[in-house]
Structure 1
Amino acid sequence: MNAGVNGSALAPAAARRTRLRDYQAQLLARMQAAQSGAAEAQHQLGVDIGGARYLLELTEAGEIVAPPPLAGVPLTQPWYLGLANVRGSLLGVIDLARYLDPKAAASGPEARLVSLAPRLGFNCALLVTRVYGLRRRSAMQAEGAVLRDADGHAWTPLSLAALVREERFLHVALQPRQ
């Protein structure tokens, strides 16, 4: 009887893990195809950052993980959350919502870290409020600087390559008072 109870309790968890692994494998395959140029250009990763929807280039994004425990770093900007150990690599973690808007609220349980692609040359991950998954840019209508999907949601393209060149992004240390 116990085996049946345990088996039935484990079945939904095992199914969720299997679906998550399948989703991650599918996402990884598409990201690798995008990097090799084999995928349809314009596939992007949809994320929520502080209540706004953004599109990230797949070739600029790396791994997506749940936020692990962070080691705080003193005397840094409020948006610099500290260091995370992700599969043996130390990554600096930036709360992208607070970087874009200092008054942004803290992220909830759906928050994820999106690491930057190695080609960008930064051991860094961005805390995003939520990951929506892949979006096809070609299926959206351009309205100035934003794109609108079939459901009417506005998406703003965000270049991670441009982000890592921003002077403010590069200086996480608090500036001494003069």
Structure 2
Amino acid sequence: MNAAAKKDPVALLRELERRSLEHATGLPQQEELKSTSLAIGFRIGNLKMVTPVNEVAELLTYPSMSRVPGTKTWVRGIANVRGNLLPVMDLQDYLTKQPSPLTAQSRVLVVNHGGVFSGLLVDEVLGLKHFLDEERKSKLPDVDNFIKSYLAGAYQQDDQEWGIFSMHVLAKSPLFLQVAV
């Protein structure tokens, strides 16, 4: 630095700026953020499905419950969960007329939508699943038409197809709400 620059503050600032720019590293590359959806994966029989996390209020192990007489076969019973009476329905039996076997992996997905508070027995919960928007497809999986009426599309991730099951559509279904024989 020359003597004139030492006395002139503006020149000193310019010299500092020049040195800083010589040794500065570039800004990191901006990565494109891809939009994703978060869903709960579950299995009933051989069908793997997901439901948006905001459609499930709670996840439970299979509770002890009392049978409710005069109800359809897919109504498993009523459980007392922290002081609340929770009707528990066998989702596989409702959709396919094949009851779900109770195993250590059996779980109950709790739905609380539009005045419907109900537990849905599934064979297994497969955890939280992240899907990119481009993995979503409008073509529904090759399943029975009755099941398709509850699907809102599907995701294709690697070689696995996941039907998007709508708990809200189920909770509004007159057939699901009619549990008496």
2:106 aligns with 111
Structure 2 residue aligned with 1:134, among 128, 136, 143? 128
Retained in 1: the 8 A contact 2:90–2:99? no
- The CA distance in 1 between the partners of 2:155 and 2:36, in whole Å, is 16
2:124 pairs with 1:123: no
2:10 aligns with none
Structure 1 residue aligned with 2:157, among 143, 149, 162? 149
Matching residue's letter, 2:130: R
- The CA distance in 2 between the partners of 1:103 and 1:97, in whole Å, is 6
**How many pairs were matched up?**
133
Identity of aligned residues (%): 29
Matching residue's letter, 2:53: L
1:1-178 to structure 2, matched below 5 A, reads 42-117=37-112, 119-138=113-132, 140=135, 142=137, 144-145=139-140, 146-150=154-158, 152-174=159-181
TM-score (norm 2): 0.68
Retained in 2: the 8 A contact 1:141–1:148? yes
Retained in 1: the 8 A contact 2:79–2:87? yes
SS at match of 1:137: strand
Gaps of 5+ in 1: 1-39
TM-score (norm 1): 0.69
Give 1:121 shift: 2.2
Gaps of 5+ in 2: 1-34, 141-153
Structure 1 residues 136-176: Cα deviation after superposition (integer angstroms, max 9, x where no partner)? 121735371232222x12110011110011111000000xx
Give 1:100 shift: 0.5
Decide which structure has the larger Cα Rg and report it.
2
SS at match of 1:81: strand
- The CA distance in 2 between the partners of 1:120 and 1:136, in whole Å, is 26
**Structure with greater proportional strand content:** 2
- The CA distance in 2 between the partners of 1:108 and 1:167, in whole Å, is 30
Give 1:71 shift: 0.5
Retained in 2: the 8 A contact 1:50–1:104? no
RMSD, aligned α-carbons:
1.8
**Structure with greater proportional helix content:** 1
SS at match of 2:172: coil
1:6 aligns with none
